[in-house]
Chain A
Amino acid sequence: MAQVSIRKVVKAYEGNVQAVKGIDLEIADEEFVVLVGPSGCGKSTTLRMVAGLEEITSGEIWIGGDVVNDVPPRDRDIAMVFQNYALYPHMSVFDNMAFGLKLRKFPKDEIKRRVDEAARILDIQALLERKPKALSGGQRQRVAMGRAIVRNPKVFLFDEPLSNLDAKLRVQMRTEIKKVHQTIPTTTVYVTHDQVEAMTLADRVVVMNHGVIEQVGPPQELYHNPATRFVAGFIGSPAMNFLPVRVLDDGGLKVELANGVKLAVPPQRVDRYGPYKGRQMTLGLRPEHLTEIRDTEKPNVVRIDCMVDVVEPMGMETLVHFFIDGEPVCARIDPVTHSAPNEVLPLAADLNNMHLIDNESGKVV
């Protein structure tokens, strides 16, 4: 029912600390947008400005066609789920969920209908009479979501809602949140520092760093075409390998690793990388594009021999760590391939998926 627009929004705390340095973001109706970034990058501040809990220093925030800069939280028609749930400890689960409706003077039977409906969706019907103290972390999380759902607001705001749960419950609740969004499609802004959460939940991911937006896009696009070195390194686990290289022309465009190995740039990238000839750049290559040598090799896959340092079998894959001229590198190989520490392992680098990063601007070229 509502789009959200964030236009040139700046937040400065006292002492002129800029937590958010002028960000622009258009969120479509019913879209699930995830703000992700390292701790302290300004995600919560941005979300709280949308909620109206934090004043906007400059810029504009629109919700559903109105500027809400000076609208108090209660008139913004939003609902928020906090990291520590912020349930009212003296109220039963039912009253916690009904509180917002009671304040808005909904008729009693309508309140009951909505709470029961939300409780059914979240599977907490049996808990309605309990006090929050008598609930587990996951149940409290559900109640906090129920409190948001019953209001049927224009926008859902989540601030790290799963951070207080243990790993297993986190995965389960993640699915739950996605299901709720599918059942009740509502514009959602979700803040997390966990890139896996961001990738799995989002229609679009917004990567923030130091108070600015680094890149906005669907999860797959961010993964395969990161715009900056920060995004390339932040999205994906294990993280992308970064290696210092020199671009040179040696019978075709090549990049030379610090240890002297020269890798031919794929023909379709030659035009793109040509202008950087002679420059010191950074090569970005994800671990899954550094694999064991396979029989059916595609073009532009080159062989690199490495001296294995550590082997981590993960079950469905094995991570191999080694160094190229002092830089740590990680490769993902098939678990059946033999690998052991201090042995030489030939690897295949798939340069079709290479990224070249300009060291000065930090941009992926």
Chain B
Amino acid sequence: MADGTSISANLAAPARAAMAPPSGMRKFMRRRSTIAVLMAMPLILLIAGLVIWPAIYAIWLSMLNKRMTQFVGLGNYAFLLKRNTFQLVIFQSCLFAVTAVILKALLGFIVAHLMHNIPGKNQRIWRGLLLVPWVIPLALSTLSWWWLFDPSYSAFNWILNSLGFQSVPWLGVGWNARFAVIAVNVWFGTPFFMIMYLAALKSVPEQLYEAAAIDGAGPVQKLLHVTLPMMRNIIAITVLFSLIVTFADFDIVRILTAGGPQDMTHLFATYAFSVGIQSGDIPLGASVSLFMLPILAVAAFFVLRGVTRRTQEIAA
């Protein structure tokens, strides 16, 4: 650390000296960093226009009253936190995201292993088939699921009935509906994990397993001491990425349950839509969606810090 600061101090001095002479503008234009910034400018402007500006605007919006005539500070946030429905939304979003991501990662990991052990050409076919859920437009496939879950005319209840069981109101009862929403998300998201973990598995050198076998490791120990450590980065990154996407999920809940029954499947995004667009309180909707930010930022910070550390250790 001490080295780092002293080096930057040494570098800063000549740079300042170079800026000092009066023919400043010319020299300034010739400096490499200036040119670099200029050449990156179109992208910077694009990002500023499409990401930073809307984000700032959203923050501004969230601090207005319903008719957007008055600045209310953090009033909307305080109001939300006191509402039972919103507390339910926080709980449901966390439940939904955490459960779905864990299940997706777990299933993806298992399927990737199965896939990895299918020899040669067959593997390509299976891999292609398992990717299907991921490539169908989500809104479309969710509609099929909605039909499958239908109480009177659906395939699931038809099977249950013909086996002699009662029909299940899949989307009509709180916990059933929560389960259904998570199940569809898992169905949709698992292929992503599968393909990422399969690629990671293929990149673990075979000789490490051979060395471990000779060192005395069985299948479980190889998994614990070779596979998992070698895949920790990809696991961390996929989980974080999926956590963000799943937290912000909209389509599945919107189509399957529209947040019902009794708001018991609402997530941040669907609730923000329902409050902001359907009920016309845009500032409140903005504050709902902004609630995701701190939660995700904290998660991202810790995960990415671990990834950086491990990358420095392992990359050879």
A residues sitting closer than 8 Å to B (CB atoms) are 51-53, 72-74, 78-80, 82, 84, 86-91, 99-100, 103-104, 131-133, 147, 151
Contact = CB atoms under 8 A, between A and B. Distances in A.
A364 B217 CA distance: 48
Contacts of B213: 52-53, 72-74
A364 B216 CA distance: 46
Contacts of A89: 230, 313-314, 316
B2 interface: no
A103 B215 CA distance: 8
Contacts of B211: 80, 82, 86-88, 147
B297 interface: no
Contacts of B293: none
A99 B225 contact: yes
Contact of B216 (A51, A87, A104, A132): A104
Given A82-B210, A133-B313, A133-B314, A88 B217 contact: no
B161 interface: no
A86 B230 contact: no
Contacts of B218: 74
A103 B316 contact: no
A232 to B, nearest CB: 35
Nearest to B213: A73
Contacts of A86: 205, 207-208, 210-211
B315 interface: yes
Nearest to B310: A90
Nearest to A140: B316
20 contacts: A51-B214, A73-B210, A73-B214, A74-B216, A78-B214, A82-B207, A86-B210, A88-B212, A88-B225, A88-B226, A89-B316, A90-B313, A90-B314, A99-B212, A100-B214, A103-B215, A103-B221, A133-B313, A147-B211, A151-B215
Interface string B203-242: 0010110111111111001000110011010000000000
Contact of B313 (A53, A72, A82, A131): A131
B307 to A, nearest CB: 13
A53 B208 CA distance: 12
B215 A74 contact: yes
Contacts of B212: 88, 99
Contact of A84 (B207, B225, B229, B232): B207
A73 B205 CA distance: 18
Nearest to A132: B316
Contacts, number: 71
Contacts of B205: 84, 86
Contacts of A90: 229-230, 232, 310, 313-314
A221 B230 CA distance: 48
A131 B309 CA distance: 13
Q: Which of the listed residues B208, B221, B229, B316 has the most CB atoms from chain A within 10 Å of its own CB?
A: B316
Contacts of A80: 210-211, 214
Contacts of A73: 210, 213-214
A217 B38 CA distance: 72
Contacts of B210: 51, 53, 73, 80, 82, 86
A103 B217 contact: yes
Given A88-B225, A90-B229, A147 B316 contact: no
A88 B280 CA distance: 58
Interface in B289-316: 310, 313-316
* 6 nearest A-B pairs in the assembled complex, by CB-CB distance: A100-B215, A86-B207, A103-B216, A86-B211, A74-B216, A90-B229
Nearest to B208: A86
Contacts of B207: 82, 84, 86
Contacts of B315: 133
B313 to A, nearest CB: 5
Contacts of B225: 88, 99
A99 B310 CA distance: 20
A73 B217 CA distance: 9
Contacts of A88: 208, 211-212, 225-226, 229
A91 B217 CA distance: 15
B275 to A, nearest CB: 47
Contact of B217 (A53, A74, A78): A74
A132 B230 CA distance: 14
Contacts of B232: 90
Nearest to A78: B214
B230 to A, nearest CB: 7
A72 B310 CA distance: 32
B215 A147 contact: yes
Nearest to B211: A86
Contacts of A84: 205, 207
Contacts of A132: 316
A74 B209 CA distance: 12
Contacts of A133: 313-316
Contacts of A147: 211, 215
A88 B214 CA distance: 13
A100 B216 contact: yes
Nearest to A144: B211
Given A88-B226, A91-B229, 13 more contacts: A51-B210, A52-B213, A53-B210, A53-B213, A86-B208, A89-B314, A90-B230, A90-B314, A100-B215, A103-B221, A104-B216, A133-B316, A151-B215
